[in-house]
Amino acid sequence: MSLTLIGYIALAAALFTAGYGVFAAVAATLNQAHFWKESLRLACLLLFPLLSIAGVALLILLVREDFQVDYVFQTISSHQPLYLKIAAIWGKQSGSLLFWTWLFSFFMFVWIKKSIQPDDPNFTTSSLFLLINAGFFIGLNLFVEHPFNRYWQDLSTGTIYTAMFQPAHTIPYTPGSGLGMNPVLRHYGMIFHPPALYLGYISIFIPGAYQVSTLIHRQTGTDWLKKTRSWYLFAWFFLAVGLILGSRWAYDVLGWGGYWGWDPVEVSALIPFLLLTAFIHAVIGNIYTQKYQRWLMVSGLLSLFSIVISTFVTRSGLISSVHAFSASPLSRPLSIYFGLFFIFILGLIILRWHSVSPSSPSTEEQPTAKFSLFSRHFVFNAMILILFVITFFCLWGIFLPNISALFSDRPITIGKDYYTSSTGPLFLLFILLTGFFPLSHWKQADKSKDRLALILLSAVAAVIAAVVNFKTGTSSLMTILAVWIIAFSFFVYLYDWLRNAVTYQDGKRVLVFSKFWTQFTKNPRRFSILLLHTGLLLMALGILGIESFQAEERLTMTKDQTVTFHNYAITYQGIQESEFPEGSLLRADFQVVDENNRETVIQPQKRFFSAYQQMTTIPGIQSNLAGDLYLILNQADETEASFTFYYNPLINWLWIGSILLCLGGVFIYFGSLKRKKLHVQ
């Protein structure tokens, strides 16, 4: 039996299993019989091994280079290393859809084995919800985007067909070496970026299903959060990793001097992260005040729906994007899925709005500070609201061109300026609230010292903003404000670190040096929050540098010509041409001398891939903590070459901050596995 047939049978069996599971869930709901609950549990467990068989079959076909299979021919070549052949399993629509369904089944398997039992009152409804969604994607993979189609050649006409089963009067056809993975995807960021996002997307479905079940059954309280907290934190971490890897890929490969282009697919991947961040803040706020029930419902359900939005934007082909899959037969079923899911989520919110109390009925209300800047209740509500408003602007930017096309022959186009002007001030306000976090309290506290610290730190930050304004000559009020906000927030965290190292001895305040680190070792959660927020501030610093102070110049140079650009002496040493197995390479050599007379070599490249008839640009980058010198080769001939030079100040703080943010997420996640409940600090 061929591997393609094995994969096809496994997919068909998985679809049948999902359908049987749905039937068993309905039967278990109607009569609560143990037989149907056990059948439902086994159906959920069986999906994973069945889809694993299909996935392994496709993986073997890729590794052994079976070019008779259309998917293999389209995604790999004989010259690709093994890791790219493995990564090719999510390189095109049908394979990535199979990978998606396999991950979905894996999370269901783990959820059933580790997190839930058949006697759980939410088991049946949540399983039904998951199986319906899993069955939909398996059906798409089996009937619409099939990864196991092979090439066949008509004996009489020579026409080439693609089909799973051999058509009449044809013979198997192998077209030779494959096209290989899309050239722009051959970067570590894009090798790990899709699976990281998939891990984040699909893991939201598990707790989302549990929340849907609690709302359907009108269950009060927040016990469901204790069972699902680690799932949401897991999803948040991988969404962050996926977004960061995608940004690094854009910076290293696309050759446009930036890290984020506000493309619809990029924005649709950001939306789940924003909503999940809002949900996590609502979870924390509810632990301390029990006043976030509606925030929990709305942010949790919209986080779930945002995965459908991102899937629709990326896979339907109906949204114009350089990152999206092209238009395909998936467009119609995904549109129907999107519409039904939207109606379901909106209906659930409307029907349960009044039954979900703003305060938890099962817990006594906790005393909180007044609604002021020093009230953490105010800070959290403001943060959540800002994240929702940013999400709205992002959604409007994605769908407005399509909506306007329904009413006009000249649809509205949305560019970077729209997102910068609409979301930029809101992100700055979010950063400012992050800075207020250490000064805020859940309960009433003496704020006189905090007020004095607020005045002093604001003044110091204003001095720094004035110095930056003088040194750079910027006339942008938004840039000056951004410098002040970031500086103020950094100083607040430094102040908080110092004041927690102070203790009272004999009625006097004494600085205890050991408390500089014991304040974190005794409270690991405090350390995790510090990593998260410090990482966010460093990312903001890197974004401020490249967005506000980036220098750009386009130059045409001859061999051995030297130019000065942003305190660098740059000498063009000529062009080198060479061949590689899949095409040709053009490389420019530069000698770079910085202001400290340190010499380095930068080599921007252009690579032409014959199979795709596609040119890719690889920038030459020299990095340090102050910024990046970023050179792009535009075009060249025997006498001269054209280049674009960028200087990206502070950009590496974006990547350093990203690492700290992810480390904070890791510590919070593993802490959630050990901690049964959080305690007020």
Predicted local distance difference test score (pLDDT) of residue 108: 95
β-pair type (620-624, 614-618) = unpaired
Q: What is the pLDDT of residues 207-219, one digit of tens each?
A: 999 999 999 998 8
Q: For 654-664, write each residue's pLDDT tens digit.
A: 999 999 999 99
List phi, psi (to 5°) of 109: -60, -50
pLDDT at residue 678 above 70?
no
Q: Where residue 195 falls among pLDDT bands split at 50, 70, 90?
A: very high
In whole angstroms, what is the distance from residue 303 CA to residue 665 CA?
18
Residue 58 confidence (pLDDT): 96
Given this model, what pLDDT does residue 445 score? 56
Average pLDDT over residues 565-586: 90
Predicted local confidence at residue 363, as pLDDT? 47
Residue 186 has what pLDDT? Answer: 80
CATH code 2.60.98 region(s) in the chain = 551-653
Cα angle, residue 674 at apex, residues 283 and 113 outer, rounded to 5°: 90
Instruction: Give dist(CA 352, CA 652) in Å, integer.
Output: 46
Measured between alpha carbons, how far is 182 from 677 in angstroms, rounded to an integer? 47
Contact indicator for 623, 652 with CB cutoff of 8 Å: yes
- DSSP element (H, E) containing 289: helix 264-289
3-state secondary structure of 51: helix
**How does pLDDT run across 61-79, given as a tens digit for each residue?**
999 999 999 999 999 988 8
For 117-157, how does the pLDDT look when each residue is reduced to its tens digit (9 = 90+)? 777 888 999 999 999 999 999 999 999 999 999 999 998 88
pLDDT value for 679: 40
Q: What SS3 class is residue 128?
A: helix
pTM: 0.92
pLDDT band per the 50, 70, 90 thresholds, residue 444:
low
Q: Can you tell me the mean pLDDT for 592-616? A: 89
pLDDT band at 323 (very low <50, low <70, confident <90, very high): low
pLDDT score at 103: 96
Digit-coded pLDDT (tens) for 333-382: 999 999 999 999 999 999 998 887 766 544 444 544 455 667 888 999 99
pLDDT band at 324 (very low <50, low <70, confident <90, very high): low
Average pLDDT over residues 10-22: 97
pLDDT in tens, 23-64: 999 999 888 788 999 999 999 999 999 999 999 999 999 999
CATH topology of domain 551-653: Tick-borne Encephalitis virus Glycoprotein; domain 1 (2.60.98)
Distance CA 474, CA 421 (A): 18
Which residue would you say has higher pLDDT here, 10 or 681? Answer: 10
List of long-range contacts for 37-44, beta carbons under 8 Å, 24+ apart: 37/118, 37/123, 37/124, 38/118, 40/118, 40/123, 40/124, 40/127, 41/112, 41/118, 41/123, 41/127, 43/17, 43/18, 43/131, 44/108, 44/109, 44/112, 44/127, 44/130, 44/131
Residues 527-538, mean pLDDT to the nearest whole number:
93
List, in order, residues 6 or more apart from 632 with CB less than 8 Å away: 255, 257, 604, 617, 619, 620, 643, 644, 645, 646
CB burial readout 370-382, b (16+ within 10 A) else e: eeebbbbbbbbbb
Using pLDDT thresholds of 50, 70 and 90, give the confidence band for residue 291.
confident
Strand-pair category, 502-505 with 508-511? antiparallel
Average pLDDT, the chain: 88
CA distance 314 to 322: 10
**Are 435 and 485 spatial neighbours (Cβ–Cβ below 8 Å)?**
yes
Can you tell me whether residue 613 is helix, strand or coil?
coil
Q: Does residue 490 register a pLDDT over 60?
A: yes
User: Do you know the residue count of the chain?
Assistant: 681
Averaged pLDDT, 502-529 = 81
Token couple for 605: 């490249």
Between CA 221 and CA 218 the distance in angstroms is: 10
Six-digit token pair at 560? 């051995």
Q: Name the token pair of 480.
A: 């000056």
Which of 584, 582, 557, 583 minimizes the C-alpha distance to 572?
557
For residue 258, pLDDT over 90 is answered with: no
Which of 273-277, 468-472, 613-617 has the highest mean predicted lDDT (pLDDT)? 273-277
Q: Reply yes or no on whether the pLDDT at 455 is more than 90.
A: no
pLDDT for residue 449: 67
User: Average pLDDT in the 587-613 region?
Assistant: 90
Q: Where are any strands of DSSP class E within 85-139? A: none
| The pLDDT of residue 365 | 47
State the SS3 of 365-429. CCCCCCCCCCEHHHHHHHHHHHHHHHHHHHHHHHHHHHHHHCCCCCCCCCCHHHHHHHHHHHHHH
User: Which has more confidence, 289 or 71?
Assistant: 71
- Farthest CA pair distance, the chain: 101
282-286, 397-401, 451-455: range with lowest mean pLDDT: 451-455
